[in-house]
Amino acid sequence: MSALQRGVLSKGLPPKGMAGHIPEKKLPPGKSFTPLPFSDFFDSKSTVNIDGDNFNIYLKGSSGPVFLLLHGGGYSGLTWACLATDLYARIECRCVAIDLRGHGLSSCINEDDLSTERQIRDISAIISSLFPISAGDDSVPMIVVGHSMGGALAVHSVSLSLGQIACVKIVGLVVIDVVEGTAMEALGGMITYLRSRPAQFESEEGAIKWCLSSGTVRNSTAARVSMPSQVRKRDDGKYHWRINLLRSEPHWKGWFKGLSSTFLSCTAPKMLVLAGTDRLDKELMIGQMQGKFQTTLLPRVGHAVQEDSPGRLADELARFAVRYRLAVPKGGIQFNPPMC
C-alpha cells in the first residue's frame, strides 16, 4: 500500500480488512448533539429558480468582495457556516454558499445529473441571477472557493464560464483538499467508503453523533450545523442520506480529470489548501516551484478542512485576500503586508 493510499484510508475510509465498518471513537460525556440553525451563522437564505430548478443559497455580508463557496459531494452550503462567520469577522466581505444540485435544500428536476458540465451551467446561472448588472455598474469582485468536488467545480467554472459573466470579475481561486492525482487514485475506495456508512439514523442528533464519533468531522459546532442538512426524514420516520452518492459514480472521473493543468491555466491569483504534506502530483509540484500558485498546509485536520479548522482556514483566506488587495481587514487585525 502506497503512502498516498494510507493517507486516503486515514481520512475515514474503512481500514484494510474492515470493509463495511467505520471504527468509532468515544466522545466526551455531556457533549451536545442538538442541531444548530443556519441563522446562527448566515444572515439569510434565498431560493434562485433556474429553468424550474430551485437552488438554495446562504448569504452573509453586504459589502466587499464575494467569496463564492462550493461544497463537496454529499455536503451542503452549511459546510461553510463556521468558516463564513470567522472570515466575516476578519475582513470586509460577502459570502455566498450554494446548495448544489441534488444537495441540501435545493430541489431540481434531475438531481442525478452531477456532471461537471451540468453543474458549471448551474453555478453560472445562479451567479448571473444573484448579481445582475445594470448600465454603469461595476463588476463584482469574486473569489471562488471550493472543497473536494466543489474544488474541481471551482476550477472548471473559473476556467470555462464564470470569467465570461459580465456581472462578476474573478479575482481569486482557492481549492481545498483536492488534487487530481490523489482524487483519481482514491476513487476506487470511495465505493467501499460510501457502503460502509450507516444507511439511516434515528434522528438528526444520531447523525451528528455518528459524524463526530466516526471522525468525519472533528469540530462539534460545525457538525451540529452541517450534518442535519446531509440527511432527510422519510416516510419510515428515519433519517436517510439526502443524496445517494453512489449514483453519481459515472461523473467522478469527469470532476477530476485534467484538474491540475486546468488549475494552473487559470490566470487569477490561486491558492491550494491541503490537509497533508504528500498530496501534490507532479504537475502541481512543478507549478508550485514555478510560483504559479500558493500552497497552504493545515495539519491535524481531516478532509473537511473548512469544518475541522474554520478559524485557521479563515486566517489563510483573509491573508490571501489582503495580500492581493482584494479585501480590507476589520478591527485592526494584522495580516501579511501586500505584495509589491
Set 303, 308, 309, 315: catalytic member: 303
Q: Is 122 helix (H, G, I), strand (E, B) or coil?
A: helix
- Per DSSP, the residues of 308-337 read H-HHHHHHHHHHHHHHTTSS-BSTT---PP
- Residue 112 CB neighbours (<10 A): 15
Identity of the amino acid at 277: T
Task: State the catalytic residue, choosing from 86, 177, 281, 315.
Answer: 177
In residues, how long is the chain? 340
User: Is 308 annotated in the active site?
Assistant: no
The whole-angstrom separation of Cα 244 and Cα 247 is: 6
| Cα end-to-end distance, the chain, whole Å | 45
CA distance 219 to 153: 25
Among residues 76, 124, 128, 148, the one annotated as catalytic is 148
Q: Name which of 100, 91, 83 is nearest 157 in CA terms.
A: 100
Share in percent of the chain as helix, strand, coil (round to 5): 40, 20, 40
DSSP 83: H
Question: Is residue 148 flagged as an active site residue?
Answer: yes
The Cα–Cα gap between 258 and 243 comes to: 26
What are 183's three cell numbers? 482524487
Phi/psi at 245 (5° precision)? -65, -20
Measuring CA to CA, which residue among 95, 28, 11 is closest to residue 60? 95
As beta bridge partners, residue 175 has 146, 272
Distance CA(34)–CA(289), nearest Å, equals 46
Active site residue 251: no
Any idea which residues carry the catalytic annotation?
A: 148, 177, 303
